[in-house]
Amino acid sequence: MGRCVLLFLLLGFLMSGVAIPLPPALRALSNVRLSTSFTSLPSGDMEHSIRYVQQKVDHFGFKTDRTFKQRYLIADKHWKRDGGSILFYTGNEGDIVWICNNTGFMWDVAEELKAMLVFAEHRYYGKSLPFGANSFKDSKHMNFLTSEQALADFAQLIRHLKRTNPGADNQPVIAVGGSYGGMLAAWLRMKYPHMVVGALAASAPIWQFEDIVPCGVFMKIVTTDFRKNDPDCSESIRRSWDAMNRFSRTGAGLRWLSEALQLCTPLTSSQDVQHLKDWISETWVNLAVVDYPYEANFLQPLPAWPVKEACQYLKNPGVSDTQLLQNIFQALNVYYNYSGQAICLNMSETSTSSMGHLSWSYQACTEMVVPFCSNGFDDMFEPHTWDLKKFSDDCFNLWGVKPRPSWITTMYGGKNINSHTNIIFSNGDLDPWSGGGVTKNITDTLVAITIREAAHHLDLRANNAFDPMSVQLARSLEVKYMKQWIRDFYSSLRKKH
């Protein structure tokens, strides 16, 4: 598979404007009170029940009545039947328990919003498999994996929740999601406005399709993250590709490279070296995506500010090839061996197995076609053009399907979304995915929040003592909008009666 498919896999999530100045929204916030419920949670206090709901495999055709069980998590400790609300996480490409574990924000605000928390798993991920173990077998079984079907599952689940939880029927539902889940939250509000009163779409690159944004923006932001730590760091990485190419010319060179990088499987061909370079590129990308200010385990267990940690080994781009690649090895170890448990570095692994790599590859090959490119000048990567024909051929070989790159724009509007209301688009400026996100206000109720010093949906993570003030302010602003939506819901309800 070409590099670009792999890339979106691992990037399965998560982008921010480089040097986007603190938006006036945040500056104006200095007088907004920080939410009182932002005390840190004792770990393990994410008590929830696991439930299942019967869903149609195909919401849009009538030929089959087949159903499957969709998993969802529910927590109602702080929920109030009187004047409460429902926060509904629109699950993305992974196990919903893993996603829940990384979405502390909802737990932190549950009490303040008197909210029931619901985390809905996306079909074809985790335990929500339409055809059980056969779900990934071929394109016939994968055929029902689309964002439209997923949104329909969410809408049906909301109806189900309202029927089965007395008191919930007359309550406002707010969609929340990060990354692809953030796109789904925004799209749920756009397509089912009668079901959710608003949406928090965190780090949702809804414009990373077709040529709405330049294909190079993503890699450029990754590079800026490394260069901001130290220009010698991005320069070391830029020079490392040619160093690897020089070693790849001889058998002895390949052996040296395999040993120096302690690879589990030795390199034997130039094709393997291409794979190695793709895997290393993905590693730098992932480090930028999860460059959080404290120790965390989202894609991998990592130290605080992992880009800075990796860059401490990459301070001297002018050294010999052997020294440069030994330094690269040290930097890779920050990502792959923070635990100290790695015996060797495994090029088949880039991130947590809680992510559904297989299903995401199918989505990337059908609807979710995200063009990536690099030029080696504005970024620290080897030049790669975006080649739709090759991408399509690779997809056909892998899945027997061809991508429809313009469908998402047709379905969800691209830049023409002004007629919608009540969506918050939040983006961290360190997040490579912010490049395809909404970072400017569109209307009074389609608002952008840009968070300085924040990586991929940091705002959805639990409150932490090491959080920069920018993310604390962003969260309070998000809660302020949510409260407004809830108030509007109840006041229009009162008018009806």
How many binding residues for ligand NAG (CB under 6 A)? 26
Residue ranges of alpha helices (H) inside 192-319 are: 217-229, 231-247, 251-260, 270-289, 306-311
Q: Does 346 bind ligand NAG (CB under 6 A)?
A: yes
Q: Does 484 bind ligand NAG (CB under 6 A)?
A: no
From the list 72-80, 146-154, 165-173, 333-341, the region that binds ligand NAG by CB under 6 A is 333-341
DSSP state of 37: T
> Contact at 8 Å (CB) between 183 and 423?
no
> Which of 202, 345, 423, 474: binder of ligand NAG (CB under 6 A)?
345
Q: Does 19 bind ligand NAG (CB under 6 A)?
A: no
Choice between 119 and 180, CB closer to ligand NAG: 119
Q: Which of 225, 379, 431, 459 is catalytic?
A: 431
Half-sphere exposure of 354 (CA within 13 A, CB side): 17
**Helix, strand, coil share (%) of the chain residues, nearest 5:** 40, 15, 45
Choice between 147 and 422, CB closer to ligand NAG: 422
Residues between 109 and 168 that touch ligand NAG (CB under 6 A): none
Q: Using the structure block, give the residue that is written with the tokens 């691992």.
A: 10
> Which of 17, 23, 356, 403: binder of ligand NAG (CB under 6 A)?
23
Strand-pair partners of 384: 374
To the nearest whole angstrom, how small is the minimum distance from the Cβ of residue 171 to ligand NAG?
25
Q: Does 196 bind ligand NAG (CB under 6 A)?
A: no
> Which of 1, 260, 342, 411: binder of ligand NAG (CB under 6 A)?
342
Residue 387 annotated among the catalytic residues of the structure? no
Task: Decide: helix, strand or coil at residue 448.
Answer: strand
From the list 71-79, 163-171, 284-292, 334-342, the region that binds ligand NAG by CB under 6 A is 334-342
Strand-pair partners of 178: 202
From the list 23-31, 56-64, 137-145, 213-221, the region that binds ligand NAG by CB under 6 A is 23-31
Choice between 51 and 80, CB closer to ligand NAG: 51
User: Going residue by residue from 66 to 105, which x/- string records binding to ligand NAG, judged by CB under 6 A?
Assistant: -----------------------------x-xx--x----
Name the residue among 275, 294, 295, 462 with its Cα closest to residue 350: 275
To the nearest whole angstrom, how small is the minimum distance from the Cβ of residue 405 to ligand NAG?
29
Residues between 41 and 60 that touch ligand NAG (CB under 6 A): 44
Choice between 95 and 291, CB closer to ligand NAG: 95
From the list 5-13, 19-27, 153-161, 278-286, the region that binds ligand NAG by CB under 6 A is 19-27
From the list 5-13, 61-69, 375-383, 439-447, the region that binds ligand NAG by CB under 6 A is 439-447
Residues between 257 and 286 that touch ligand NAG (CB under 6 A): 262, 264
Listed in sequence order, the residues at least 6 apart from 459 whose beta carbon sits closer than 8 Å to its beta carbon are 105, 202, 426, 428, 449, 451, 471, 474, 475, 478
To the nearest whole angstrom, how small is the minimum distance from the Cβ of residue 20 to ligand NAG?
9
Strands 115-120, 85-90: pairing is parallel
Residue 431 annotated among the catalytic residues of the structure? yes
Q: Which of 122, 420, 456, 457 is catalytic?
A: 456
> Which of 333, 350, 374, 427: binder of ligand NAG (CB under 6 A)?
333
The secondary structure of 380-433 as a DSSP string is SSPPB---HHHHHHHHHHHHS----TTHHHHHH-TT--TT--SEEEEEETT-GG
Query: In this structure, what token pair is assigned to residue 117?
Result: 């928390």
Task: Decide: helix, strand or coil at residue 193.
Answer: coil
Distance in angstroms (rounded) separating the CA atoms of residues 145 and 169: 29
Residues between 225 and 254 that touch ligand NAG (CB under 6 A): none
Distance in angstroms (rounded) separating the CA atoms of residues 247 and 270: 10
Query: In this structure, what token pair is assigned to residue 208?
Result: 């990373």
> Contact at 8 Å (CB) between 103 and 92?
no
To the nearest whole angstrom, how small is the minimum distance from the Cβ of residue 143 to ligand NAG?
27
Q: Does 200 bind ligand NAG (CB under 6 A)?
A: no
Query: In this structure, what token pair is assigned to residue 9?
Result: 């896999």
Q: Which of 16, 179, 248, 374 is catalytic?
A: 179
Q: Does 393 bind ligand NAG (CB under 6 A)?
A: no
Distance in angstroms (rounded) separating the CA atoms of residues 444 and 447: 7
Half-sphere exposure of 223 (CA within 13 A, CB side): 20
Query: In this structure, what token pair is assigned to residue 312?
Result: 């401490």
Choice between 305 and 336, CB closer to ligand NAG: 336
Which spans of this chain sit near ligand NAG (rule: CB under 6 A)? 23-25, 28, 44, 95, 97-98, 101, 262, 264, 333, 337, 340, 342, 344-346, 348-349, 354, 440-441, 444, 447-448
Catalytic residues: 179, 431, 456
